[in-house]
Amino acid sequence: MAFSMGTSGSMADINVTPMIDILLVLLIIFMVIVPVTPKGLDALVPQPPKNPQQQQPNDRTIVVQILYHAGQPPAFKINDTDVNNGVGGEAAERELQQKLTDIYANRAERVMFIKADDDVNFQWVADVLDIGKAANVDHIGLMTPKIQEGQ
Domain limits of the chain? 62-149
In the chain, % of residues over pLDDT 70 = 72
Q: Does domain 62-149 have CATH number 1.10.3470?
A: no
Q: In whole angstroms, give the CA distance from residue 96 to residue 133.
A: 12
What number is the average pLDDT over the span 63-68?
86
pLDDT digits (tens, 9 = 90+) for 12-41: 788 888 899 999 999 998 888 877 666 666
Helix (H, G, I), strand (E, B) or coil at 102: helix
Q: What is the pLDDT of residue 58?
A: 54
